[in-house]
Chain A
Amino acid sequence: MLDSGLAGKAAIVTGGSRGIGRATVELLAAEGVDVTFFYRDNVSAAESVVTEGRARGLRIEADRVDIRNAQACAAAADRVAERCGRIDILVNNAGMIRDNQLAAFTDEDVQIVLDTNVGGVFNMARAVVPHMIVQRAGKIVNVSSVAAEKGGRGQTNYAASKGAINAFTRSLAVELAPRKITVNGVAPGVIETEMSEPVRDLAGNDVLARILLKRYGKAEEVAYAVWFLTSRFADYVTGEVFNVDGGYKME
């Protein structure tokens, strides 16, 4: 068996109670990572991740944090550093959609998506990077989306937020390379999660027609890419955004 080097590391995963976040939490924890995941609303989902994980002997903690609040992010990251002694991995997964035609957006439809998807990534990176700089090591993975590069109706807010994450990933990779901290992204296509349910319900056939592999992805299939980018196998990868989309074509 190859050793991923993950056992004994400490990780933070945002948006870890459901979907891709949950799959990532469970996969990293199964590799021996001490995982703290942040969640905002769904207490019962978060509790079930913790309870089920612990029943399997995994080290999983949950912390209710609104990543739109920079101070809350800094305090929560400090709590993890206090408990684990370090923070090796940050997975910026939390994100949301609020799809609509641009002309029909309310101010809030635009702001809440940008604040969560982009602001949250900034807040978490600013909270965790000081720890990684001092450690001279760390791996950051930002969960982007195929929407960043390929247009989709009703998704200008979401697409813009994910495009920002790709640009953020490349610039932060440059900044942190001198401290051997890698920064990469994973861009999922349409994955079978609660978040993509409206898209799959509304435009399922159109969407499937654009996917070369003719099926939706599974949350675990994205988690495997995150796992790779946090493992020692990706020590020489930085500033990349890795697509996990079944071969998604432009409309």
Chain B
Amino acid sequence: MQPTVSKEEIMQVFPKVAATMADALGCDIEDIKLDVSLIEGLDAESIDFLDMVFRLERAFKIKIPRGKIIDNARGELSEAEFEQKGVLTPVGLAQLRAYLSEVPAERFREPMKVADIARLFTPETFCKLVIVAQRETKPA
């Protein structure tokens, strides 16, 4: 099962996530809209993603294992069910669309390469990541 996260939970963490992302990207906090594409809208590069993850780990006192977004998106699908030779399977793509429900449908390419998934990420994606990590950090 993919983790489900409510809009309310997202809005709770968003201000701190936005401030952290603005620090990592060196941009104004006003530029960090919930649905802006980090790569296409804010010129984030791969090292910026790492920077954001490291800062979020500190700001929220959580651990975000490397590759966690993709793992979350994949849910209970096996790697082979999710992707073949670096390209998402139809089931994998459907799963990704469901996980990144905040991303407009037209932004998903077909075929979709695993390497291009990061192009879809928005601040909301990172809010979800933080929320799931918080749940996993707290004792049940």
Chain A interface residues toward B at CB < 8 A: 130-131, 133-134, 175-176, 178-179
Contacts and interface: CB of A to CB of B under 8 A. Distances in A.
A131 B51 CA distance: 9
Contacts of B54: 130-131, 133-134
A179 B25 CA distance: 11
Given A130-B50, A176-B47, 10 more contacts: A130-B54, A131-B54, A133-B50, A134-B24, A134-B51, A134-B55, A178-B45, A178-B47, A179-B47, A179-B51
Contacts of A130: 50, 54
Contacts of B55: 134
B: contact size bracket: under 10
Q: Give chain A's interface secondary structure class.
A: helix
Contacts of B51: 133-134, 179
Interface centre among A134, A175, A176, A179 (most CB of B within 10 A): A134
B58 A133 contact: no
Contacts of A175: 47
18 contacts: A130-B50, A130-B54, A131-B54, A133-B47, A133-B50, A133-B51, A133-B54, A134-B24, A134-B51, A134-B54, A134-B55, A134-B58, A175-B47, A176-B47, A178-B45, A178-B47, A179-B47, A179-B51
Contacts of B58: 134
Nearest to B48: A178
Nearest to A129: B50
Interface in B47-62: 47, 50-51, 54-55, 58
Nearest to A132: B54
